[in-house]
Structure 1
Amino acid sequence: MTQTRILRYGHQDFQLLEKNTRYQGFFKLDQYKVTHKRFDGSESEVLTREVFERDDAVVLIPYDPVSDSVVLIEQFRPGAIRAGDTPWMLEFIAGMFKQGESPVEVAIREAKEEANLTIAPASVSNVMKYLSSPGGMSEAMYVYLALIDSSTAGGVHGLDEEGEDILVHVVKRQQALELLKQGKIANAATVIGLQWLALNYQAFQSS
């Protein structure tokens, strides 16, 4: 049986013919006209697609290996209104890049702003990079884990100038996974982060 090669095409196998901005506000909407190589070797027709241009962001999993707990934040999210459940989301700490910042610098800054956590750079490790919704959005998410002491975590935080009102929770890892199972955690980055932690937490407990 012939094995099909996975991810056979790359950047040289498509052409971006046009890119025009259709909306510019807090975020941007661009219209792309592209062609790409098809799996039978032929060229596709010209495809017109709108892409929500959202800058890249960093997600931080704050994990306390001593108490086997994670820090979750709770905040209002307007994009969750249409889903019909509560628009207050349980999430990991996250934020977008500022000019010249590295992913680790974003993680450390956002941890302080959103949860009043002081994170040492040496405690931060890379988990993964993934695309949020590549069918129509350009955002890439950089996921990191930070080893923390959660004993003093709590309270309400966030930046007034950004309209943030963020409640901090310290949750046992197993409880967080149960909330995930119950559908109480519906933020994609947090779902992905918790599932990764469920597979890898023991490596950090022994470190």
Structure 2
Amino acid sequence: MANSRQQQAIETKNRLLKAAELVFLEHGFQNTTIRLINNKAETGHGTAYVYFKNKEDFLIKIMEDTMEQFTKIASIPFHPATSNEAYELVSNQVKLFLSLAIKKKELMKVFKEAIGVSKEVEARWQDIRDQFTASITKDIMYAQEYKLADSSLSPSLVARLWFYTNEMFMWEVIHESPSNDIEDIIKHMTTIYMKGLYSNPQQ
């Protein structure tokens, strides 16, 4: 009986999450209410509060699930033997990152809105940033260890600079058509990054 109740609880929570995503997409973050989510999920009044504290709690869970897909890109194995291999790997990661942002752009717009008005969502976004920069830092340290990258540079600082560059263009491509072609953006971002960090990019 307990297993049956647990399964029902999981199904209800998932139904609420799916409903919340639809409501956020339709109404935006600020205009979304728990009542709208309950109505969309066709659950009883107050059911949402059994599983989530507020609408921020809903959005954070959706944001975490969505950004997990981005995290998989950042976690692609990075073990280049040459600067040229590093260039190809970095370029591919940027392409996958921006392409996924475009694919998820309507949801990303909701995240951006929420980050701007909710301290709770903003704090969780900063945690996600930290996860990305930690992953990038490891890649830079690998490149420095194998004499591909400039060892005089701080891996963590370079990682932050690199992620913020990616983030800036991510917000740009989801809100409007960028002034440059995506492939052109990728080329310029990767080349500048490589020339700044790596000893002999594309050599």
Question: What TM-score, normalized to structure 1?
Answer: 0.24
Q: By percentage of residues, which structure has more helix?
A: 2
Question: What TM-score, normalized to structure 2?
Answer: 0.24
